Amino acid sequence: MATLELDHVTKGFDDGDETIIAVDDVSMTIDDGEFLVLVGPSGCGKSTTLRMMAGLETVSTGALRLDDEVINDVKPKDREVAMVFQSYALYPHMTVSGNMRFGLEESTDMSDERIQSRVTETAALLDIDALLDRKPAELSGGQQQRVALGRAIVRDPQVFLMDEPLSNLDAKLRSDMRTELQRLQEDLGTTTVYVTHDQTEAMTMGDRIAILNDGRLQQVATPLEAYHRPANRFVAGFIGEPSMNFFEMDVQGEQLIHSTTQSQPHEDTVTYPLPQDARHAVADGTQVTLGVRPASIEVTQAPGPVEFVSKVSADHDFEAVVDVVEPMGNENNVHLSFSEKNHTTFVATTDGESNVATGQSVIAHIPESAIHLFDGDTGEALYNRSHTDTEAVESVQ
Ligand code: ATP
């Protein structure tokens, strides 16, 4: 087991005249025994980061340390890390047993008996002991994935590096394997870095998640911290499904004003009172982004025929009209717009049994306790919704 540290790590690829910065000054520590998920959109530098950890890419600047020892120049086979790829990368001409033995035979001087007993133990752990004599072509995708994992586990590495290992599996198998991988990692206690672009995997699997965008590290936090206390607008929008709603607002005294046109501010204006405890965080006259998660918006039916003005009696209630309802079974994602004059759209998640239909007039309640405010220029979080860890745990269950 080991601690892996990235200390101002940068990776640039030379591409003719220019250098593509794939990973930009990333610093973080993955603790001994931790399961860290590296997540971010396509091209953000996840695989490059992992490949540097494996020794498959060089580090341009900065230091990579395994238990305080700089390993920038240590060869992949000498790093005591094992990588599991999305493509499984099994040798087609070898049996399952051969695939699992190969790494050990190549990189250690372990006796044949010792290797065989490692393979047998690991195969039993992964429930593939009946498949040891088969070739990869005779296995299902899920079984091939287990063999790829087995090949990493037999090596008993200091660190597992996994690059989207479940993305070739169907949704059901993927969900089963997620749970199984977590259990395995917990049992083995091996430090693990797991790359995915799937925020559901990030939320459910990791002790902590590291969110990358455009080569830069945005936040390293527990999944619940990232969800409830995002460091910036990017993290807020990336973590959570459906995504957080964002409204561009002008700070005017104790009000936040959202308007789609400048010419007739009164007809399309949505006004939201600035929470008392957020006043110190935002400056009058600046622009901020108000964020609220779909699950935090309460939707109720409008009491009767309504004329569309954007604000109704209560400060945090808004008249809205239903554009589209996406039934998900246990809940509905309801796409709304504020009024006929302000076409700003947003999404609210309602109970699957609630009766909302396209074209219906509703009241959307946006509670003060659920809002986030981000700097209009930098996207940095200025104010995050109030929550305690206990609350967060309850809301996820
Ligand atoms: P994905 O989820 O699509 O696999 P990723 O987050 O893993 O993406 P990387 O593969 O790490 O992203 O790529 C990060 C950036 O570096 C991209 O812009 C990519 O085009 C660039 N890049 C990666 N490898 C090379 C290379 N060998 N030469 C030049 N540019 C590269």
Greater confidence (340 vs 378) lies with 378
**Residue at which a domain ends, from 212, 237, 262:** 237
Mark whether 214 and 301 lie in a shared domain.
Answer: no
Kind and range of the H or E run holding 120: helix 112-125
Mark whether 156 and 253 lie in a shared domain.
Answer: no
Mark whether 266 and 225 lie in a shared domain.
Answer: no
pLDDT tens-digit series, residues 50-96 = 999 999 999 999 999 999 999 999 998 888 899 988 887 899 999 99
Whether 203 is covered by a domain: the verdict is yes
Whether 151 is covered by a domain: the verdict is yes
Q: Residue 81 CA to chain centroid, in angstroms?
A: 23
**Residue at which a domain ends, from 237, 270, 302:** 237
Mark whether 124 and 268 lie in a shared domain.
Answer: no
Mean pLDDT (whole number) for 328-340: 87
Mark whether 209 and 94 lie in a shared domain.
Answer: yes
Q: Is the CB of 324 inside a 6 Å radius of any atom of ligand 1? A: no
Mark whether 13 and 54 lie in a shared domain.
Answer: yes
CA of 44 relative to ligand 1 center, distance in Å? 7
Q: Is the CB of 47 inside a 6 Å radius of any atom of ligand 1? A: yes
Q: Any residues with CB less than 8 A from the CB of 311 and at least 6 apart, and which?
A: 270, 271, 317, 318, 319
Among 10, 18, 20, residue to substitute to test ligand 1 (most atoms within 8 Å of Cβ): 20
Whether 397 is covered by a domain: the verdict is no
Q: Is the CB of 45 inside a 6 Å radius of any atom of ligand 1? A: yes
Nearest CA to ligand 1 atom 1: 42
Q: Is the CB of 344 inside a 6 Å radius of any atom of ligand 1? A: no
Mark whether 199 and 346 lie in a shared domain.
Answer: no
Q: Is the CB of 22 inside a 6 Å radius of any atom of ligand 1? A: yes
pLDDT tens-digit series, residues 122-137 = 898 888 889 999 999 9
Tokens of 40: 């971010």
pLDDT tens-digit series, residues 277-294 = 899 999 999 999 999 999
Domains contained in the chain, number:
2
Whether 25 is covered by a domain: the verdict is yes
| CATH code: domain of residue 68 | 3.40.50.300
Tell me whether residue 325 is exposed, middle or buried, using C-beta atoms within 10 angstroms of its C-beta: 0 to 12, 13 to 18, 19 or more: middle
Whether 396 is covered by a domain: the verdict is no
Q: Is the CB of 211 inside a 6 Å radius of any atom of ligand 1? A: no
CA of 104 relative to ligand 1 center, distance in Å? 30
pTM of the model: 0.88
Q: CA–CA separation, 149 vs 153, rounded Å? A: 6
**Residue at which a domain ends, from 237, 255, 281:** 237
| CATH code: domain of residue 280 | 2.40.50.140
Whether 229 is covered by a domain: the verdict is yes
pLDDT of residue 393: 42
Q: Is residue 376 within 8 Å of residue 286, measured between CB atoms?
A: yes
Mark whether 257 and 225 lie in a shared domain.
Answer: no
Mark whether 149 and 285 lie in a shared domain.
Answer: no
Q: Is the CB of 118 inside a 6 Å radius of any atom of ligand 1? A: no
Whether 94 is covered by a domain: the verdict is yes
Q: Is 88 helix (H, G, I), strand (E, B) or coil?
A: coil
Q: Is the CB of 42 inside a 6 Å radius of any atom of ligand 1? A: yes
The ligand 1 atom nearest the CA atom of 20: 30
Mark whether 303 and 337 lie in a shared domain.
Answer: yes
277 backbone dihedrals φ, ψ, rounded to 5°: -80, 0
Paired sense of beta strands 361-365 and 298-301, if any: antiparallel
Nearest CA to ligand 1 atom 21: 22
Whether 228 is covered by a domain: the verdict is yes
Mark whether 71 and 187 lie in a shared domain.
Answer: yes
Mark whether 149 and 196 lie in a shared domain.
Answer: yes
Q: Is the CB of 91 inside a 6 Å radius of any atom of ligand 1? A: no
- How many Å is the maximal CA-CA distance in the chain? 82
Nearest CA to ligand 1 atom 5: 43
pLDDT mean across residues, the chain: 88
- Domain residues for the domain of 176 are 4-237
